[in-house]
Amino acid sequence: MFSTVKLYIPFLKYLRKRIPLLILLFILILGSTVLLIITPLILEAFLKNIRMQFATGLLLPLALLFLLLAVARPILSLWEAYLGDNISLLATNELRVDLTLHCLALDLRFHTQHTPGELVERVDGQVATLNNLFSRLVLSLISNGVLLIGIIGMIAFTIHALVGLVLALFTIFSIVIVYMLHSKALPLWKEARKQRAEMISFTEERLSGLEDLTSSGAQSYVLRELASQSRAILRTFLRGFQAIMRTRNLLRMFFDLGTVVALLLGVLLFWGHAIPLERVYTLFYYTTLLQVPVEQIVEQWRSLQQGSGSIANIHELLAEKSTIHGGDRPLASEALEVAFERVSFQYIEDTYALQDLSFVLPAGKTLGLLGQTGSGKSTVARLLTRLYQPQSGTILLNGHPIQDYALADLRRAIGIITQEVHIFNATVRDNLTLFDDSISDDVIAQALEQLKLTDWLKRLPEGLDTVLSSREQALSAGEAQLLSLARLFLRDPQVIILDEASSRIDPATEQLLDQALKQLLQGRTAIIIAHRLQTVMQTDLILVLENGRCREFGEREALLQQPDSAFATMYRLAAGEVRQ
Ligand SMILES: Nc1ncnc2c1ncn2[C@@H]1O[C@H](COP(=O)(O)OP(=O)(O)OP(=O)(O)O)[C@@H](O)[C@H]1O
Ligand SMILES: [Mg+2]
């Protein structure tokens, strides 16, 4: 029991800022509890007045008072619900922000191990469990406790201590029974939650591959899989629901029995002249009031326990730490020299993606990186931008290990265009500036002019305001690369890595790309991972990778002159292809 409570304690800090609201909420809950307890007393007084047939003038005020309380209670609970949800949404949204920032700060190793769908479920879905805790649970547990004690106390004092004792025992007994019955439903809820997380991650993954799935006619497979997963969830949910309903109905029967016992006791007391007739009614009323708090206490305690799985998951997520840390060496603002010194790296144990790789790329020079698919080209880019940490060897920037520089500085200094350029559902302007409002349209126009992309911009229906969202406006691979070149140009990094898309590009766009690239490379150190030989013909140096190892490294011109070099062979092959 304590371990469940302990899990929740760290999250209470999100409530600290909202203590005045919480106090108000507590007063409201207590107020409505008191109203509930005094209502039967008014009814009792009313009945007494009728029975004694004296002072009938009191009947009307009593009826009005009863009416007033009947109206006040729902108003109070409405206010309670509003306040409770308000507090909890504010608190859990703060936690969501913290979790999102935490996930974003984690390195790529973490992100390749966890699908976006899984993270969405954790950051959003599981935090929702806390919603309940923050809004009602704790206060409601207390108020139901107060209500139970209040009712039993009232019975003991106003009716008979013995009846109070009997009902107290009855209540404890029923709490234990309901708690035990609930245990049956709990594993089913857990299972359903797990299945749901799996389905979300399945859907997310399939949606991101929509184009491939549609073109290969795999929709029916996906739909079938989705249907079977949904069916499994439905089955588990239904079983859980049935278990809960069984408990609820059993509890109801149990309480009906309790009411009969209470009535019997009341009648006996009445016959023994211990209490007046209307008090028998009050006893009846109080006994029926007992059922709701018993049910709620068990359910709330259960949901605390049910939530503990989610909470443990959130703790686990928060405990994840990035293995990549930066230093505080200032980074020079001119072009930078990049060097790899015997760098080896494995994504998976015992499989080298890069092995013993060494090269020096002097400041302001460009390196063309070639190699077959899977040879480790993109990995070089990922290591240089510190998305991963090599297992051995050093990567140097201006002679100092890259770990010495602050991560933010490093990522500002190194601009990368990955193989899959991400186009955001936003205007061309936002896609170029990456939502940085401080970059004016003039600066954008200048950059596009320099990259000779003004004509391309003119072709867009609404210029910079064109929204890249609907399918018709989606960019071709070449256009996406153009956009990403302009994006980098605006950011003005000192080192550029271009991981060229392997898709074929039409000759007109190709020409635009080559021109833009020439502009972009001026005065910058650059690594160009090229699938088209034409692109590397602009570079100073060439590095050919083979299975993660350096096969060839040297000046482009010199390599081209050596007929037996790998680069010259590739060049001849490509030229031959063109001629055929
Ligand atoms: N996240 C990852 N987890 C495990 N292995 C990976 C991961 N990313 C890449 N690899 C493996 O590492 C090797 C090098 O991959 P890399 O992406 O660097 O190749 P590449 O030269 O860029 O290929 P391409 O020309 O197809 O882009 C490949 O064998 C690949 O399967
Ligand atoms: Mg690649």
44-58 pLDDT tens trace = 888 888 887 766 678
In the predicted structure, residue 126 carries a pLDDT above the cut 80: no
Q: Provide the pLDDT confidence category of residue 503 given band limits of 50, 70 and 90.
A: low
Q: Is 377 domain-assigned?
A: yes
Average pLDDT over residues 246-257: 83
Q: Are the beta carbons of 95 and 14 closer than 8 angstroms?
A: yes
Q: CA 269 to CA 164: how far, in whole Å?
A: 13
Q: CA 109 to CA 119: how far, in whole Å?
A: 14
Residue type, 170: F
In the predicted structure, residue 550 carries a pLDDT above the cut 90: yes
Average pLDDT over residues 525-545: 88
Q: Provide the pLDDT confidence category of residue 132 given band limits of 50, 70 and 90.
A: confident
CB of 115 closer than 6 angstroms to any ligand 1 atom: no
CB of 523 closer than 6 angstroms to any ligand 1 atom: no
In the predicted structure, residue 139 carries a pLDDT above the cut 80: no
Q: How many domains does the chain have?
A: 2
CB of 371 closer than 6 angstroms to any ligand 1 atom: yes
Which residues fall within 8 angstroms of residue 86, CB to CB, at 6 or more apart?
21
Query: What is the per-residue pLDDT for 51?
Result: 80
Residues 256 and 347 reside in one and the same domain: no
Residue 6 Cα to ligand 1 middle (Å): 43
Q: Is 408 domain-assigned?
A: yes
Query: What is the per-residue pLDDT for 346?
Result: 93
Nearest atom in ligand 1 to 545's CA: 21
CB of 353 closer than 6 angstroms to any ligand 1 atom: yes
C-alpha distances (whole Å) from 536 to each of 53, 241, 367, 498, 516 are: 107, 64, 8, 11, 14
Residue 376 Cα to ligand 2 middle (Å): 7
CB of 348 closer than 6 angstroms to any ligand 1 atom: yes
Residues 99 and 173 reside in one and the same domain: yes
Any idea which ligand is nearest the CA of 347? 1
Residues 464 and 563 reside in one and the same domain: yes
CB of 381 closer than 6 angstroms to any ligand 1 atom: no
Of 198-207, 307-316, 516-525, the one with minimum mean pLDDT is 307-316
Q: Provide the pLDDT confidence category of residue 580 given band limits of 50, 70 and 90.
A: very low
Residues 309 and 343 reside in one and the same domain: no
In the predicted structure, residue 299 carries a pLDDT above the cut 80: no
Query: What is the per-residue pLDDT for 472?
Result: 53
Mutate to test the pocket of ligand 1, among 347, 503, 535 (most ligand atoms within 8 A of CB): 347
Residues 315 and 346 reside in one and the same domain: no
CB of 112 closer than 6 angstroms to any ligand 1 atom: yes
In the predicted structure, residue 470 carries a pLDDT above the cut 60: no
Token pair belonging to 451: 């990259």
Q: Could you say which of 257, 292, 319 is where a domain stops? A: 319
Residues 246 and 346 reside in one and the same domain: no
Average pLDDT over residues 289-315: 79
Half-sphere exposure of residue 547, counting CA atoms within 13 Å on the CB side? 1
Any idea which ligand is nearest the CA of 382? 1
Closest residue to atom 24 of ligand 1, CA basis: 373
CB of 379 closer than 6 angstroms to any ligand 1 atom: yes
Residue 353 Cα to ligand 1 middle (Å): 7
Instruction: Report percent pLDDT > 90 for the chain.
Output: 21
Only one residue has tokens 């966890």, namely: 114
Q: Could you say which of 319, 354, 387 is where a domain stops? A: 319
- Buried b or exposed e, range 344-364, using 16+ CB within 10 angstroms: bbbeeeeebbbbebebebebb
CATH of the domain at 450: 3.40.50.300
Q: Provide the pLDDT confidence category of residue 338 given band limits of 50, 70 and 90.
A: very high
CATH of the domain at 297: 1.20.1560.10
Which residues fall within 8 angstroms of residue 555, CB to CB, at 6 or more apart?
540, 541, 542
In the predicted structure, residue 2 carries a pLDDT above the cut 50: yes
Closest residue to atom 28 of ligand 1, CA basis: 374
Residues 289 and 140 reside in one and the same domain: yes
Burial class (CB in 10 A: 0-12, 13-18, 19+), 343: buried
Q: Is 328 domain-assigned?
A: no
Closest residue to atom 17 of ligand 1, CA basis: 378
Query: What is the per-residue pLDDT for 310?
Result: 76
Ranked by mean pLDDT, the top range of 190-194, 233-237, 338-342 is 338-342
Burial class (CB in 10 A: 0-12, 13-18, 19+), 442: exposed
Mutate to test the pocket of ligand 1, among 108, 352, 379, 391 (most ligand atoms within 8 A of CB): 379
Average pLDDT over residues 181-199: 78
Residue 367 Cα to ligand 2 middle (Å): 16
Which residues fall within 8 angstroms of residue 212, CB to CB, at 6 or more apart?
218
Closest residue to atom 4 of ligand 1, CA basis: 347
Q: Is 448 domain-assigned?
A: yes
Q: Is 424 domain-assigned?
A: yes
Residue 419 Cα to ligand 2 middle (Å): 7
Residues 315 and 352 reside in one and the same domain: no
CB of 378 closer than 6 angstroms to any ligand 1 atom: yes
CB of 319 closer than 6 angstroms to any ligand 1 atom: no
Closest residue to atom 2 of ligand 1, CA basis: 347
Residues 387 and 454 reside in one and the same domain: yes
Looking at 135-218, list the stretches that DSSP marks H as alpha helix, in order from N- to C-terminal side. Answer: 138-154, 161-208, 210-215
368-396 pLDDT tens trace = 999 988 999 999 999 998 988 899 999 99
Closest residue to atom 6 of ligand 1, CA basis: 347
In the predicted structure, residue 473 carries a pLDDT above the cut 70: no
In the predicted structure, residue 409 carries a pLDDT above the cut 60: yes
CB of 347 closer than 6 angstroms to any ligand 1 atom: yes
Which residues fall within 8 angstroms of residue 281, CB to CB, at 6 or more apart?
40, 43, 44, 47
Mutate to test the pocket of ligand 1, among 344, 378, 416 (most ligand atoms within 8 A of CB): 378
Token pair belonging to 335: 């072009």
Residues 289 and 362 reside in one and the same domain: no
Residue-averaged pLDDT of the chain: 85
Q: Which DSSP string corresponds to 377-399? A: HHHHHHHHTTSS--SEEEEEETT
Q: Are the beta carbons of 134 and 92 closer than 8 angstroms?
A: yes
CB of 373 closer than 6 angstroms to any ligand 1 atom: yes
Q: Are the beta carbons of 368 and 532 closer than 8 angstroms?
A: no
Residue 379 Cα to ligand 1 middle (Å): 6
Q: CA 476 to CA 509: how far, in whole Å?
A: 10
In the predicted structure, residue 190 carries a pLDDT above the cut 80: no
Instruction: Report percent pLDDT > 70 for the chain.
Output: 95
Q: Is 169 domain-assigned?
A: yes
In the predicted structure, residue 577 carries a pLDDT above the cut 70: no
Q: What angle do CA 150, 48, 56 make, to 5 degrees?
A: 130
Any idea which ligand is nearest the CA of 107? 1
Residue 469 Cα to ligand 2 middle (Å): 26
What's the alpha-carbon Rg for the chain, to the nearest Å?
Answer: 36
Half-sphere exposure of residue 351, counting CA atoms within 13 Å on the CB side? 5
Closest residue to atom 26 of ligand 1, CA basis: 373
Residue 527 Cα to ligand 2 middle (Å): 13
C-alpha distances (whole Å) from 566 to each of 355, 548, 551, 552, 562 are: 19, 16, 8, 7, 9
Which range of residues forms the domain containing residue 259? Answer: 15-319
Higher pLDDT, 462 or 379: 379
Q: Is 327 domain-assigned?
A: no
Q: Could you say which of 289, 319, 349 is where a domain stops? A: 319
Query: What is the per-residue pLDDT for 136?
Result: 65
Closest residue to atom 31 of ligand 1, CA basis: 374
Closest residue to atom 22 of ligand 1, CA basis: 378
CB of 503 closer than 6 angstroms to any ligand 1 atom: no
215-224 pLDDT tens trace = 888 888 888 9
Query: What is the per-residue pLDDT for 344?
Result: 95
Q: Are the beta carbons of 403 and 578 closer than 8 angstroms?
A: no
CB of 497 closer than 6 angstroms to any ligand 1 atom: no
Q: Is 270 domain-assigned?
A: yes
Residues 381 and 233 reside in one and the same domain: no
Query: What is the per-residue pLDDT for 87?
Result: 87
For residue 475, the SS3 value is: coil
Average pLDDT over residues 334-357: 92
Any idea which ligand is nearest the CA of 370? 1
Residues 515 and 564 reside in one and the same domain: yes
Average pLDDT over residues 4-13: 79
Which residues fall within 8 angstroms of residue 433, CB to CB, at 6 or more apart?
439, 444, 487, 490
Q: CA 123 to CA 577: how far, in whole Å?
A: 51
